[in-house]
Structure 1
Amino acid sequence: MQKGKLIHLESAKIGQAHSFLIFTEWYAIGIVYIKEVQLLIVISHKKRINLLATYFIEHDYINIKDIEMEFKISRRSAFYWITSFNKQLDEMQLDRIAKLAQSQYFLPPETKEALRHYDNLEEDDYPIAYSNKYSRRDLIIWFLIQNKDHVSLIKLAKYFRVSKNTVINDIQGVREHLPENFEIINDKNGKRLIGNEREKRLWVCEQVSLHNNPLIINEMHGAHYRYLIGELITLQRASRVIFSDNSLELLATFLSWCLKRIQLNPTLTLTSSPDHVTPGDKVVNDWITNLMTHYEIPVSIDEVTFFRDIIYSAQTKSVAHWAFTENFPADILVNEIISRFNSISGAEVSTPNLRNGLKAHLITTYQRVMAGIPYRAANLEDIKRDYQELMTLTSYAVQPFEDFMHKTLSSDELALLTTYFGGQTSYLSNTSTFNPNVDVFLICSSGVGTSYFLQQTLKRKYSQIRFSHPLSLREFDRLEPLVHAKLIISTIDVETTQDTPKLTVQSIPTDNDFAQIDKALHKVGLLGTLDATKMTNDVMDIISNDVMIPNPRALSRKLQAYFSGDTAANDPQDVVDSNHRPSIQELLTPDHIHVTSRILTWKQAIQRSFLPLLSGDYVDKSYVTEIIRKLEKNGPFMIVKGGVLLAHSAPSSKIHKLGMSLLELQHPVKMGDKTITTIICLAPKREKQHLKALSDLLDILEDDDKYETLIHSERKSELVTLMAEA
């Protein structure tokens, strides 16, 4: 067991003074067994404050990932621990935990020194107590679904080591978030959950995909899990469909639990199917039938349909050719989605990797949505925060898919689709060979689109480092002995035969992930001492120890540009602008908005619409010529909505700075069979910098009143007002 000192900050207020107890030895998180279920010990409210205090005193700089890994808690719990600790420091009239660039946290020296003075010692040992209400609520639902005997307030309070009132509040929270047809009732043995068996199973399936609660996952694993892995590999060979590594693990975990559940209680067999029934493949139907026979479960069409829906909804590495895909217009939808994304984003993306990945993903998304199988993105809030504008553009792009299904995608499904458009200028082409000269093994288990999104993100940020193409676990096992990489970055836990350092990150990296990646790359020598990122972090850390930095992110950007030799660093304002995402109001200023009554051809109209950008040296004339040639070749594909054309091309040396202009045509022009009344010009200098403005434009196009104003205004003042209010 891990050993270390623990400071106890439980306080008893006497006037303005506080008395504190300090514990010498704390034996950290261990393993206990309750009813043959392996549980991770976690700790009560006051103990998490003590643990975090000790951890901060023993370390100079910490990020959220460090706390997650040290105490085996979720990211949400880590933030909750920090909040609790800060509240305790407020009571003690000490400075709070400070935050640096790249989500690094540290205790101010005065606070750290003050805490060191409390050195009375006492042993402490706290058994199981789930530290936040969300984990407890999930477990309560799990116990109810599992039909645990005697699920009562007293037993739950004892199990979680919380008060009875806390359990009452937890159960009320459970009731508020249950599906409408679910109900918690009381009987002589305690509490029971009444509801649809299919919905209960789907809730468990969702928990498996989120992988948030180790108790639930551990209880589901066992001998049946290993058996199901083998059977799923057999299904892959027979159906010629390859599941992603994440999907393979999810299917094995969920199916092993579900089959065992029915085997132990045959009354839980489904007796109905959803309204939408997907046509079945003989290979899949036979596989399910054999599986049910192995578990001695009566074969019914409703159960076969349920298991088939689960299999069809699992993410695949390649395009799945299930029976229902024969009538699914995947290619048409992919073409329409990519075309719409290109027309509104200012990007030009259409590589084989993107098309194949998007096609495979649409098939599984269609199945999930139509069969009512929920998908949850574990890092949805991070995606919403870091890729908000990109999600808006993706929402616009996928409308043909939603129209086909007659359903709207959830935020979680939309977040996953957003990853396919995460990089917009330099998509990697697929390769059938592996380059052995790599510095970092990259293992991604979540499918084609997210795999290449992760690779492209890392290659852009660390251009001097050689990353492998995204590998599956099987590819990694085969290549690891042959290639001596210095680091392994993976989206799933991996076992290695060598002593190569490894790091687990999200497929859409967060700030915390990048902080961990920076640290790992420095440790193995892939980022040298003169690396701009390291030097920036070092300088920020030194400054922060002595002075308060009013705007850490702005200073970090300027230092990064300075150390990297970025020419933009010569102009401090440009350093800020390169990371700023201006709104459409900032870009379409009155001097960039014009109305013309001249009768023009479509080429003349485009040339005239770019005059503000040409005169302001935003673009070269060759940029305008490039756009006209593309329209001549491909037709009016840049029309984003009836009458509105977004004239744009990809970022290049022909563009000197980010800009937009607008020309309203009182005499509309014809381009093929399309009529154009409004031309909006876009000069995208840097990738993603223009996404906020495009997101604002989409808001205008989707608002009927604003859209009518945009295409029918005869006065410049109306358009200026429209953009000012966007």
Structure 2
Amino acid sequence: MKEIIWKFFIQNSPITINQLIDDMDVSRNTIIDDLKDIRQNYPELKLNIDSNGHLLKSSEEEKSRFIFNELQKHNSGLIAHKIDKLPFPIIEDSKVKSDIEILEEDISSRFTENAISKLKRILKFRIWRISMGNMIVDIDITDNDIQESTVNVLSAVTDFTQRYGIGIKSEILFFSELILCSQADVVNYVTESFKDKILDVAQDIVNRYAYISGIKIQSPKFVIALINHLYASYFRSKFNFDFNSEALSDVVHKFPEIVKFVQLSCSPLAKLVSKPISINEIALIILYFISYDDLSDNISHVLDRNDNIRDSLQSEVLLVCTSGVSSSAILYSNLHKQYPLITFSKSLSIDELNKILRIPNTAKLIITTFPLNTKNIDLPVVQVKAMMDSEDYVKVENQLRYYFPQLFINREKTLDNLISIIQINAQIKNISDLRKDLDNYLYPTKDTVKRDKNKHNLMDLLNRSSIKIIDNLMNGTDLNPIIKELSEELEKII
């Protein structure tokens, strides 16, 4: 379906069903079903049909909003890939990065890596569309909508877009919206009066949450982090850019009680925006409160992003999260709560990770929410979602058990229990050897060679030479079924 939508973006003329069949090599029924799905799921694109074929009747702003929302959902998905593969414009990554750094300096702010990546792609998309003669000409906001609560944003964005030949007022206003809706770690582009309003809203939200939930939050850094988040949340609500992702749906599903608490607590923000706050924005704010509940006094470790590299050099596990403070906090809190004896780093950007890997450090593992290029990384890498699900926990658990075996369940007690279970059903001829083999199997060290699945398992440990069945069995009895049954029981215990 997204493949078809993209085809409408890269040509101006209507597209026939036969053309789509030829281009995509699928059946007519598949194309017809996909077109129905587009009409149903993306009404804002206004898919229409005339005598020449199908086309999108949506405005250029609506098309660009769709692209930005898709990048917010999945910044490494199909739409992102399609934009990266556009033959024009050829934009050097270093130039865009430098220009965004100038923009950040002009507005005294710092965006998250994920936000920067989205801005790069939407810039390339807009240049491509403009080259096809498709410009944003009608937009619902004015200069005053930007300038009434910000400082220097409009002029800084104008300078930024003009470096790429974009000087149309509506395009500049659209990019200004995107800048204000993008998540930032540092925000200093708002007026003093608006800053005071958001401060009051943040403190009011925290106080209401404490009153409703009974959890009193006393960390000033928590409030500061929440304020930084609320700037983008306010502008997304004001300009109708709904932040959407599967992870946020998981938050709403997993924490229904906190959803109610935060919805009630966020009424001051809704009053400031003069409209209800979407459930996705509520879910983003929930991440802060969840992480605080889990982190308690350690909240400052995550929210304070100063000296990231220096502090992370002593960490055993490096955390890479490019999406912002809330995602970083929830990732850290989940891992810290589950594995309190392991030292996790603060959330690192890709650049910070690369710098750390070039100098001596104590890291044994990298856990990331962003797909990394592992060619030049010597450490093992585990990719997870910020809101880790059961599959993510299994992946992390397997790696941590391998590299930090000493931190898990008491080894001696576990081995004693297993030996006792075996002794109930068998006479062990060599307890020390069996104990050693079980120990190596359950608690591999970093230097232990990884075992092939067919090479070493509990069936191998419980063989004829290491045990003797107590029951009176006639000579020639096949012991394999008994050994297999015992092994399966042990697997359940483990």
Smaller-chain TM-score range?
A: 0.7 to 0.9
Report if aligned partners of 1:184, 1:191 keep a CA contact under 8 Å in 2: yes
Query: Cα offset for 1:306?
Result: 1.0
1:365 counterpart = 2:233: yes
Tell me how far apart the structure 1 counterparts of residues 204 and 349 of structure 2 sit (CA, whole Å).
Answer: 30
Residue pair 1:278, 1:324 contacting (<8 A) in 2 also: no
> 2:11: which partner in 1?
147
- 2:165 is aligned with what amino acid? E
1:359 Cα deviation (Å)?
Answer: 0.3
**Identical counterparts, % of pairs:** 23
Deviation at 1:343, TM superposition (A): 1.2
Question: Residue by residue, what CA displacement relative to the aligned partner does 1:97-122 show, whole Å, maximum 9, x if unpaired?
Answer: xxxxxxxxxxxxxxxxxxxxxxxxxx
| Maintained 8 Å contact 1:204/1:254 | yes
Inter-CA distance 207–435: structure 2 relative to 1 (3 Å threshold): closer
Provide closer, same or farther for how the CA distance between residues 327 and 187 of structure 1 changes in structure 2, counting only shifts above 3 A. farther
Q: Distance in 2 between matches of 1:520 and 1:411?
A: 35
Alignment partners' CA distance in 2, 1:447 and 1:489: 16
Does residue 452 of structure 1 match 2:321?
Answer: no
Change (3 A) 1:317 1:292: closer
Pick from 178, 203, 206: which aligns with 2:66? Answer: 203
Say if 1:283 and 1:218 are closer, same or farther in 2 by CA, change over 3 A. Answer: same
Residue type at the aligned position of 1:164: R
Per the alignment, do residues 527 and 265 of structure 1 end up closer, same or farther by CA in structure 2, a change over 3 Å counting? farther
Aligned residues between the structures? 396
Equivalent residues in 2 for 1:609-648, closer than 5 Å: none
1:272 aligned to 2:139? yes
Q: Quick one: which amino acid aligns to residue 397 of structure 2? A: D
Partner residue, 1:38: none
1:456–1:327 Cα change, 3 Å: closer
Deviation of the 1:224 alpha carbon: 2.3
Return the alpha-carbon distance in structure 2 between the equivalents of residues 248 and 196 of structure 1.
Answer: 25
CA 1:213–1:506 in 2, change beyond 3 Å: closer, same or farther?
A: closer
What is the CA-CA distance between 1:248 and the residue it aligns to?
0.9
Counterpart secondary structure, 2:50: strand
For 1:346, the equivalent position in structure 2 comes to 214
Instruction: Point out where structure 2 has 5 or more consecutive residues left out of the alignment.
Output: 419-494
State the partner residue of 2:172: 304
- Map of 1:175 onto structure 2: 39
* Counterpart residue identity of residue 396, structure 1: L
Displaced runs of 4 or more, over 6 A: none
Structure 2 counterpart of 1:517, from 386, 391, 396: 396
Matched residue of 1:162: which SS?
Answer: coil
Pairwise CA distance, 1:357? 1.4
Pairs within 5 Å for 1:483-502 = 483-495=361-373, 497-502=376-381
Relative to 1, partners in 2 of residues 1:314 and 1:516: Cα closer, same or farther, differing over 3 Å? same
Pair 1:529–1:508, CA change in 2 (3 A): closer
Tell me by how many angstroms 1:466 deviates. Answer: 1.0
Q: Which residue does 1:462 correspond to in 2? A: 339
- Equivalent residue runs for 1:491-570 within 5 Å: 491-495=369-373, 497-526=376-405, 530=409
Q: Which residue of 2 aligns with 1:218?
A: 81
- Supply the AA of the counterpart residue of 1:193: L
Name which of 372, 383, 386 aligns with 2:251: 383
1:524, distance to aligned residue in structure 2 (A): 2.7
Cα distance in 2 for residues equivalent to 1:323 and 1:266: 36
The equivalent residue for 2:118 is 250
Against the structure 1 CA distance between its residues 454 and 214, is the aligned structure 2 distance closer, same or farther, given a 3 Å change threshold?
closer
Alignment-mate amino acid for residue 388 of structure 2: P
Q: What are the within-5 Å matches in structure 2 for residues 46-445 of structure 1?
A: 136=1, 138-147=2-11, 151-179=15-43, 182-188=46-52, 190-211=53-74, 214-221=77-84, 223-224=90-91, 226=93, 227-262=95-130, 264-274=131-141, 277-279=145-147, 283-300=152-169, 302-323=170-191, 326=194, 329-423=197-291, 424=293, 426-428=296-298, 429-430=300-301, 432-433=306-307, 434=311, 436-445=313-322
| SS class of match (2:146) | coil
If the length of structure 1 is used for normalisation, what is the TM-score?
0.51
Cα 1:422/1:149, change in 2 over 3 Å:
same
Alignment map for 1:591-602 (pairs within 5 Å): none
Aligned with residue 356 of structure 2, among 473, 479, 484: 479
- The CA deviation string for residues 367-395 of structure 1, in whole angstroms up to 9 with x for no partner, is 11101122112323321222222222111
Aligned counterparts of 2:101 and 2:182: Cα–Cα separation in 1: 14
Aligned 8 A contact 1:293 1:299 in 2: no
- The change in CA–CA distance for 1:167 and 1:376 in structure 2 (over 3 A counts) is same
Deviation at 1:330, TM superposition (A): 1.2
Taking a change above 3 Å as real, the CA distance of residues 514 and 369 of structure 1, as seen in their structure-2 partners, is same
Distance change (3 Å), C-alpha of 1:377 and 1:403 = same
Comparing both structures, which one devotes a greater share of its residues to helix?
A: 2
Superposed displacement of residue 317, structure 1: 0.8
Bigger fraction of residues in strand: 1
Query: C-alpha displacement at 1:401, in angstroms?
Result: 1.0
Q: Give the drift of 1:309.
A: 0.7
Counterpart of 2:384, as a letter, is V
Give the Cα separation in 1 of the matches to 2:408 and 2:200.
50
CA contact (8 A) 1:439 1:487 kept: yes
- Cα deviation, residue 184, structure 1: 1.5
**Whole-angstrom distance in 2 between the partners of 1:529 and 1:183:** 56
* Structure 1 residues not aligned, in runs of 5+: 1-135, 540-726
